[in-house]
Chain A
Amino acid sequence: MPARLALETSAARLVGRLSRATRRGGGTTLPGKLVWKLDPAAVDALARRLPAGVALVSATNGKTTTTAMASSILSPVRRLAWNRSGANLASGITSTLLAARDAELGLLEVDEFALPEVIRRTRPRVVCLGNLFRDQLDRYGELEHIAERWRSAVSELPVDASLVVGADDPLVASLGDGRDRVLRFGVDDPSHARPSLQHASDSKYCIRCGAPYVYDAAYVGHLGAYRCDACGHARPPLDVAARRIESHGLDGVSFSLETPDGDAQVRLALPGLYNVYNALAAASLALALGASLDIVVEGLERFTGAFGRFERFLVGDKRLLLLLVKNPAGANEAIRTLENGSLPATLVVALNDRIADGRDVSWIWDVDFEPLLERAHRIVVTGERAAELALRFAYGGYPRDRLEVVPSLERALDRGLDLTEPGKELAVLPTYTAMLALQAIATRRGLTRPYWEDAA
C-alpha cells in the first residue's frame, strides 16, 4: 500500500471509531468523507486491493434490498466489503472499502447519481442496474438524464465486465443493447399483472419512436412485458426469469427461478412482486460473478429483510410492521403488500422532508393511497410534513374526523399502538429519515438491534 494511502486509511479509521464512540450514528460515512476529500484517487487503490474485484448495484428502487440479498448469497463463499447501512455515495463507499481490510469482493450499493464516478474509480467486474422510477426530482432531475449518465458510464466499462439489467424497464433494458456479457432479468407471469398502468407510471412512451407502449403485462409501475406496435421495439428475451409466482400474503412469495444454469424453486421470506424483482437482480448478479444456482437459492431463502425496508416487531401483545415508503413506485408496492395481507385497521404514515427524503413532497400526490383510504378505520399522520399528508388523504376522500395530525413520531407511534387492538398489527409507513428515527425509538425500547452492531 502506498505510504500516503496507509496514513489516510489509519487516520480515517480513527475518525470512524470516534464517530461511533461519540454516538453520532453508525460512523458510516465520516472516515470516507475524510479520504474522499483528501484524495479521491485513494478509492481506486482501495478497490484494486480486492482480489475478487467489485460488483455494483444501482436502481431508484430496491437497491438496498437487492444488495443485501446478494450479500446473503455471496457471504458464505466470499469475504465481502458491503455497504450494508445504505451509505451509497462516494464517501460511504470509500468508508466501506476502508473498513473491510481483509475482504475479497466489494459488493456495493451505489446512488444512481454517483454511479458514473464510482464505475470509473472502482472498475467493477459486474454492474447490476435494476430500474428507473421517479424519485426525488428535486435532487436528481429527470429519468432520461440519469439514463444518459448511466449509458455513458456503461460504455466505459471494460469489455470483460458483465452487465445485469432489468429487462422489464425499457430505459434500463436499452443499456444492454449491443453489449456482450449481459444478463437480462424479468418477471413472466401474467396472472400477477396489474389490470392497467398506475397513475405515476414512467416511461410510458417508446424510447425509440415515442408511440405509447402496449403492455401484455405490467407488474410494478411501468415494469413489465412492453412492446411498441409502431416500431416493434419490445422487451428483450429474458435470461433470468421468475415464473409461476405464488403470494403468501405478508409472509412471503414463491416462484420458479429460471436461469441459463437451470431452474429452481425459491421461497422468499419477504412479500411482494417488487421483492421478486430484487431477488432476480441479486440472483443475476451472483450468477454473473460465478456463483452456483444452489448457492443462489440458499442465499435468497435465508434472507429475511434489509435494514428498515420491511420489519416486524412485537410490542407487548401487539405487533408493529414498518414499511419504508420513499417514492411513488415504492409506496404503491408497500400498499399492495398491505392489501395482500390482512390490512391493519390503523395506519401511521410519516412524512419528513430532509434531503434523504426529498425536500419536494409533491410525490405523495402521485401515490395511489386510495385502497388504504377505503379500508383504514383511522389514520395518524406524522413527521415534519404531517399536515401535508393530512391534505393528501383529505382530498383523496378520507374523512377529516378520522385523521389525526401528530407531528411527533414517538407520540404518533404510541397513539397508533393505543388504537390497535391486542393481538392485532399496527402498520407504519415512514419516509427514510422518519424510518431512521422510528428505528432509534424501537432500539431504545429494546425492540430491535441497531444496524451497525454487527458490521465490524
Chain B
Amino acid sequence: MIIRVGHLYPEYLNIYADRGNIAVLEHRAAARGHELDVDPITLESSLAAGTHDLFYVGGGQDREQAMIAGDLAVRGDALRAAVDGGAAVLAVCGGYQLLGRGYRGRDGAWLDGAGLFPHETLAGETRMIGDVLLESTLPEAAGKTIAGFENHAGRTVLDPGAHPLGRVVAGYGNDGVSGFEGARTGRALGTYLHGPLLPRNPWIADLLLSWAIAHATDAEPEPLDALDDTLEQEAHAVAASRARARGGRPA
C-alpha cells in the first residue's frame, strides 16, 4: 500500500540530518512491501484534511525557523484535526518546539506555535548540547531505550498531566530539570533528539509506520514484521554508551 507522508518545510527545516529519518521510514516501509509517497508541504501550500497518514517536521537554524513559524501556526487547527483523526506525526528539535503552544524569546516576545503538543518553550541562556539516552514511557514500548543527540537553547515545559516521550537516563531532556524528554499526543511524537533519531532507534520508525498504516486502512495498529537490525543495535549501543559517559546532566 501507499503511505502518504506530509514533510513540512523540507527546504527550511533540514538541519540535523532530517533526511536520514525520512530514508529510514522509506526503507522500512519498503521492506514490508509498502511505498512512501512523500509530499513536501511548504509556505502557503494547501493542506486538505485526511490526505496524509504521517507528518514529519524537522529542525532548522533560528533564521529559517522564523521564516516558517507564522505559516505553521495557522496550520494548527488542520494538524490537530489530522491527529484527532488518527494521523501520525514525528517532530524533531525545532519542529517539536514549533508544534507547542508557543515560544517565549529572551526579549520576552511571544511567538505562537501550532498548539498540537501541550507545552511551552522558553529561551534559555545556555545551550543544552550532548548525547542523550531515554527510557521510553510510551505504553506501546515501555522500557525501550532511545539514543540521540540534543542541541537546544529552548527549555520546553510540559503541561501538568501531559505525556512525555521518555524518562531521561543521561542528558538534559526537555528543560534540564524535569527528568523527562519529548511529548506524545495521540499518534504525534515530538522530541529534541536528532542524530538522526530513527536509524539507531528503528522501533520508533516501525511504531510510526504501524500508526500510519492504521490511519490509511482505518484499522487498529498492528505490529510490523521484524527486520534484521544488527547494525542498528550496534549503533544504538555505541550512542547509548556515549550518553552514559558524556551526556549532559540535568542541573
Contacts and interface: CB of A to CB of B under 8 A. Distances in A.
Interface of A: 134, 137-138, 141-144, 199-200, 204-205, 210, 353, 359-366, 384-385, 387-388, 390-392, 394-396, 400, 403, 405
A171 B127 CA distance: 23
B235 A390 contact: yes
Contacts of B215: none
B99 to A, nearest CB: 20
Interface in B219-251: 228, 231-232, 234-235, 238-239, 242, 246
Most A CB atoms within 10 A — which of B20, B200, B242? Answer: B20
B27 interface: yes
Most B CB atoms within 10 A — which of A141, A365, A385, A400? Answer: A365
Contacts of A143: 61
Given A366-B17, A388-B239, A144 B62 contact: yes
Nearest to B229: A391
A353 B24 CA distance: 22
A361 B195 contact: yes
Contacts of A204: 11
Contact of B200 (A210, A363, A388): A388
B204 interface: no
B123 interface: no
Contact of A388 (B63, B151, B235): B235
A405 B234 contact: yes
Contacts, number: 90
Contacts of A366: 14, 17, 19
Contact of A360 (B27, B62, B149): B149
Contacts of A141: 127
A391 B231 contact: yes
Contacts of A360: 16, 129, 149, 151, 194-195
A160 to B, nearest CB: 34
Interface of B: 11, 14-17, 19-20, 23-24, 27, 61-64, 67, 127, 129-131, 149, 151, 194-196, 199-200, 228, 231-232, 234-235, 238-239, 242, 246
A387 B234 contact: yes
Nearest to B131: A359
A239 B211 CA distance: 58
6 contacts: A360-B149, A387-B234, A387-B238, A391-B232, A395-B24, A405-B231
Closest 8 CB pairs of A and B: A365-B17, A365-B20, A387-B234, A362-B17, A387-B235, A391-B199, A395-B23, A142-B61
A134 B59 CA distance: 14
B64 to A, nearest CB: 7
A257 to B, nearest CB: 35
A385 B20 contact: no
Nearest to A367: B17
B17 to A, nearest CB: 3
A61 B19 CA distance: 23
A394 B234 CA distance: 14
A340 B235 CA distance: 32
Nearest to B21: A365
B63 A144 contact: yes
B231 A387 contact: yes
B238 A388 contact: yes
A353 B242 contact: yes
A362 B20 CA distance: 9
A353 B23 CA distance: 23
A392 B20 contact: yes
A384 B17 contact: no
B105 to A, nearest CB: 15
A363 B16 CA distance: 7
Contacts of A405: 231, 234
Contacts of A392: 20, 199
